[in-house]
A and B are shown apart, each in its own frame.
Chain A
Amino acid sequence: MNYHWNWGIYWEASPEGTGSYADMLWSGLLVTLEVSAIAWVIALLIGAAMGVVRSLPSPWAKRISGTYIELLRNIPLLVQLFLWYFVMPELVPDAWGDWLKQMPDAPFWNSAVGLGLFMSARVAVQVSTGIAALPRGQQAAGTALGFTLPQTYWYVLLPMAFRVILPPLTSELINTIKNSSVALTIGLAELTARTRAMQEFSFQVFEAFTAATVIYLLLNLAATWAMRLLERRLRLPGYGAG
Chain B
Amino acid sequence: MNASAPVIRMQHVSKWYNPHFQVLKDCSLDVTRGEVVVVCGPSGSGKSTLIKTVNALEPFQQGTISVDGIDLHGKGVNLPRLRARVGMVFQHFELFPHLSVLDNLDIAQRKVLGREREEARARSVALLKRVDLSAHAEKFPGQLSGGQQQRVAIARALAMDPVVMLFDEPTSALDPEMVSEVLDVMVQLAREGMTMMVVTHEMGFARKVAHRVVFMDQGEIVVDAPKEEFFGAVTNERARVFLSKILAH
Contacts and interface: CB of A to CB of B under 8 A. Distances in A.
A57 to B, nearest CB: 12
Contacts of B95: 141
Contact of A135 (B80, B88, B92): B92
A237 B140 contact: yes
A156 interface: yes
Given A137-B94, A140-B90, A160-B98, A146 B83 contact: yes
Given A236-B140, A238-B141, A238-B143, A147 B108 contact: yes
Nearest to A156: B96
A234 B108 CA distance: 22
A237 B140 CA distance: 6
A143 B83 contact: yes
B142 interface: yes
B14 interface: no
A237 B80 contact: no
Interface string B101-140: 0000001100111000000000000000000000000011
A238 B108 contact: no
A19 interface: no
A237 B160 contact: no
A144 interface: yes
A225 interface: no
A5 interface: no
Q: How large is the interface on B (under 10, 10 to 19, 20 to 34, 35 or more residues)?
A: 20 to 34
A144 B92 contact: no
Interface string A142-164: 11111110010001100110010
Contacts of A7: none
Nearest to A162: B98
A155 B81 CA distance: 17
Interface in B50-75: 52, 55, 57
Contact of B98 (A137, A147, A151, A236): A236
A156 B98 CA distance: 8
A146 B86 CA distance: 9
Nearest to A137: B94
B212 interface: no
B88 A144 contact: yes
B160 A145 contact: yes
Contacts of B141: 238-239
Nearest to B143: A238
Contacts of A143: 57, 80, 83
A239 B112 contact: no
Contacts of B226: none
A239 B111 contact: no
Given A238-B140, A238-B141, A146 B160 contact: yes
A240 B97 CA distance: 10
A138 interface: yes
Nearest to B88: A144
Contact of A239 (B52, B83, B142): B142
A28 to B, nearest CB: 40
A146 B140 contact: no
Interface of A: 135, 137-138, 140-148, 151, 155-156, 159-160, 163, 236-240
Interface of B: 52, 55, 57, 80-81, 83-86, 88, 90-92, 94-98, 107-108, 111-113, 139-144, 156-157, 160
12 contacts: A143-B57, A143-B80, A144-B55, A144-B86, A145-B83, A145-B156, A146-B112, A146-B113, A160-B97, A160-B98, A236-B97, A238-B143
Given A146-B83, A147-B80, A238-B141, 17 more contacts: A137-B92, A138-B96, A140-B52, A140-B94, A141-B90, A141-B95, A143-B80, A145-B112, A146-B108, A155-B107, A156-B96, A159-B96, A160-B98, A236-B140, A236-B142, A237-B142, A240-B142
